[in-house]
Chains A and B, each alone.
Chain A
Amino acid sequence: MSADSSHGTDASVDAVEHALGAEHEHPTWSVYWKIATILTVITVIEVWCYYLPGFVSTAFFVPTLLALSAAKFVIVVMFYMHLKYDHKLFRVLFTGPLIIAMIAITALLFLFGKLAIRTGLLT
């Protein structure tokens, strides 16, 4: 009886993984809670940076916020969207357009002088 139910559970897990196109097991509940805590801490640091006048006026302010934001982005995509565990085709489908989008943003900002002024290439 127990062997049958165990076999049934394994079969349903296999069915789920096949249906999800998963390559590996998804993270456990405790991992999800830890990730939520990390995301909250990063958000608190971001807002804290915003309220530090001495830091806002430095050249490190924007790169720090961009790095923190990128860290949150990557954590959500890798762990909550399971891209770390899923088939590599999904990674290609997401990162390909994302790279094109980031290049487009950077190119447009240079084209309209925003980044060129900030980086000192254009006065």
Chain B
Amino acid sequence: MATTALPSIPTADVGHGYTTTGLPHRKVAIWAFIGSECMLFASLISTYLIYKGRSVKGPFPHEPWTDPSTGHVFKPILNIPVTSCSTFVLLMSSLAMVLALAAVENRDKPKVTLGDRILGSSRLWLFMTALLGTTFLGFQAFEFTSFVHEGLSIRTNLFGSSFFTLTGFHGAHVTAGVIWLLTMLAIDFKRGLGPKDALNVDIMALYWHFVDVVWIAIFTLVYLIR
């Protein structure tokens, strides 16, 4: 009877979360999850782009609109300076995130100078990432509130429906990321994060950077392209 040779798994790795490829299965899983998230956001972005310019009534993103029944003039609804600031904040949060991961990976390395100690503080960079993520959410809350005050809600027109759905889904992802960051920060304060925790921080960092790259696409396709 013929037998099939199975790939060998190092004994030490059995039960420690490694696949037959030798890669940690949680990292394989987060990449597969990010791949599926690409398709989710692709569907939301394509819905926005298809409905763009098809709203029967305003307010519109880039053009002023006069309500024929009341004569009220609505200015273009998108606030590019505010959104540019929030984009910059999210990009800087990605920088803080990679510095946090590098600090966790290099926890055991000696830190001689003050600069080494600052760059090597995972607590500082995890806190900065969470703070910048929360600031981004504050910008989004301000934007949503001002839109509603200016007459655009999720029920107003096709633009409002697709815009709030797309950016709302992204905001929900950022919120989940901030909660994840605060949880990791609490663990860091409780027992400290070291090289053995690098995989957990790396998985969180991958999620956070993905949220950032989605915003890079949204900022251009929704806010800048007229």
Chain A residues with CB under 8 Å of chain B are: 8-9, 12-13, 15-16, 19-21, 26, 29, 32-33, 35-36, 39-40, 43, 46-47, 49-51, 56, 61-62, 65-66, 68-69, 72-73, 76-77, 80-81, 87, 89-90, 93-94, 96-98, 100-102, 104-105, 108-109, 112, 114
Identify 22 residue pairs between A and B in the complex whose beta-carbon atoms are under 8 Å apart, listed by A's number: A9-B108, A20-B198, A29-B119, A35-B95, A39-B91, A43-B88, A46-B219, A49-B224, A66-B220, A66-B225, A73-B216, A73-B217, A80-B97, A80-B205, A87-B21, A87-B23, A90-B28, A97-B39, A101-B42, A108-B46, A109-B46, A109-B49
Q: Does B32 lie at the interface of the complex (its beta carbon under 8 Å from any beta carbon of A)?
A: yes
Task: For the complex, count residues of B whose C-beta is within 8 A of A.
Answer: 56
Known A19-B199, A26-B102, A69-B216; judge A50-B31 contact (CB<8 A). Answer: no
Q: Enumerate chain B residues within 8 angstroms of A104, measured Cβ to Cβ.
A: 39, 42-43, 46
B31 pairs with A76, CB closer than 8 A: no
Interface residues of B (CB under 8 A from A): 21-24, 27-28, 31-32, 34-36, 38-39, 41-43, 45-46, 49-50, 52, 80, 84, 87-88, 91-92, 94-95, 97-99, 102, 105, 108-109, 119, 195-196, 198-199, 202, 205-206, 209-210, 212-213, 216-217, 219-221, 224-226
**Cα–Cα distance between A90 and B213 once the two chains are bound (Å):** 17
